[in-house]
Amino acid sequence: MKAFVAFIVIGAVLSAITIPVYSVYDTPELAYSHFKKIQSYSKKFLQMSDVALTNFEDAQYYGSLLIGTPPQNFTVLFDSGSSDLWVPSVYCYSSTCRLHHTYNHQKSTSYVSNGKKVTFDYGQGGVSGYLSQDTVTWGGYKIPNVTFAELTNMPGSEWGSDKFDGLLGMAWQSLACNGCSVVFQKLYATGALGTNNSFAFYLTNVDNKAGSTLTLGGYESNLSQNDWVWHPLLSQTYWQIKLSGVSVNGKAITGTNMKAIVDTGTSILVGDAPIVDQITKEIPEIKTDCSNIKSLPNVTITIDSTNYVLTPQNYVWKIFQDGIYECTSGWQAANFPSELANTLILGDLFISTYYTQFDMGNKRVGFATAIQSSST
């Protein structure tokens, strides 16, 4: 029995790997300008425009990824709200591409051509290119035969952040472009993760602070209170689960067929206006100088029958700049398309409060109370 237990533990250590992820806003200045941008979204604007789920201003956590043989180095956003991998191509002549590492398939001996044209439509405008196949190395694991997009057209300055070159989607195959690989699933298929077909995101709750991690093939047991509760997925598209209810200070908001999507690519708590308007109506105006945080109500999000409390410290976004704190609400209403009616996106403010396991093998999401790096 002892030997058996030791075997399991060693197996776990060998198969799971934790890699650090970094916030796009790694200087106080960048964090602050992002914060101001969100603060300036007027409600009216959000009511009128659909906020794309993969919103590049909001996508926050990136890390490194190698493509090809010998490996070419990229930084990519890890986005649980989409499913594709793309990086800029050396054949991209948009000025944005010149600010980034670009993929040169001619320099890779493991490249296999495909050439199928592909377009991704995002909130900030579309990008396009074609599919290619190559070996991807992620967290030290080699993943052969990944079909991904090399982009030849990336108009617009929104893509110009020098923090990341591309995107690595971590949602389900059904959201991926036709013929494209979901990289995590390809990694699992190599056997490198053993039988553990899951990954976990731990995000620190302080901007700019190191310590956020993505674990492939398991989770770290020292980052939460280990009070894991699992929730079955409603569909294998987004990481979409049932939202049983939301209440603010005990007052229940109403909505039929409410859903939640767990999305590492969204900073805040964005939701369909009919839901979020009811929540924000119950929350007094948040003073910019943060002086009334303590008097604000808790918001309780009920998933299946578990209550996840967000205190004002969790849902108010707080930024320290030039020696003072500034606060803004983490709740934003948007007009979602009809298939996402009454949906709430649980973004990074939620994930930093509740350490999240994305379990592809069992088609479920698990949350545990995160050990937070600060309680201010």
Ligand X SMILES: *[C@@H]1O[C@H](CO)[C@@H](O)[C@H](O)[C@H]1NC(C)=O
User: Could you say which of 16, 187, 216, 316 contacts ligand X (CB under 6 A)?
Assistant: 16
How is residue 75 written in tokens?
A: 């930084």
Full DSSP string of 291-321 = TTGGGSPPEEEEETTEEEEE-HHHHEEEEEE
144 is an interface residue for ligand X by CB under 6 A: yes
Specify the residue, 52 or 186, whose C-beta has the smaller distance to ligand X: 186
145 is an interface residue for ligand X by CB under 6 A: yes
315 is an interface residue for ligand X by CB under 6 A: no
The partner residues of 118 in beta bridges, in order of sequence, read 129
Report the DSSP pairing between strands 61-67 and 229-236: unpaired
Query: Minimal distance in Å, beta carbon 351 to ligand X?
Result: 16
Which residue intervals of 171-311 are DSSP H helices? 183-189, 273-281
* 224 to 263: interface string for ligand X, x by CB under 6 A: ----------------------------------------
Of the listed 134, 165, 263, 359, which one is catalytic? 263
Of the listed 79, 272, 348, 359, which one is catalytic? 79
Which residues lie closer than 8 Å to 112 by C-beta, 6 or more apart?
132, 133, 134, 145
Query: Minimal distance in Å, beta carbon 64 to ligand X?
Result: 4
**Among 81-89, 152-160, 218-226, 232-240, the segment contacting ligand X (CB under 6 A):** 218-226
CA atoms within 13 A on the CB side of 285: 4
128 is an interface residue for ligand X by CB under 6 A: no
Query: What CA–CA distance (Å, rounded) separates 301 from 303?
Result: 6
Residue type, 230: W
47 is an interface residue for ligand X by CB under 6 A: no
Q: Which of 19, 5, 55, 350 is nearest to 211 (CA)?
A: 19
Contact footprint for ligand X (CB under 6 A) = 12, 16, 64, 66, 71, 73, 112, 144-145, 196, 198, 218-220, 222, 298, 309, 311, 357, 359, 361-362
Residues designated as active site: 79, 263
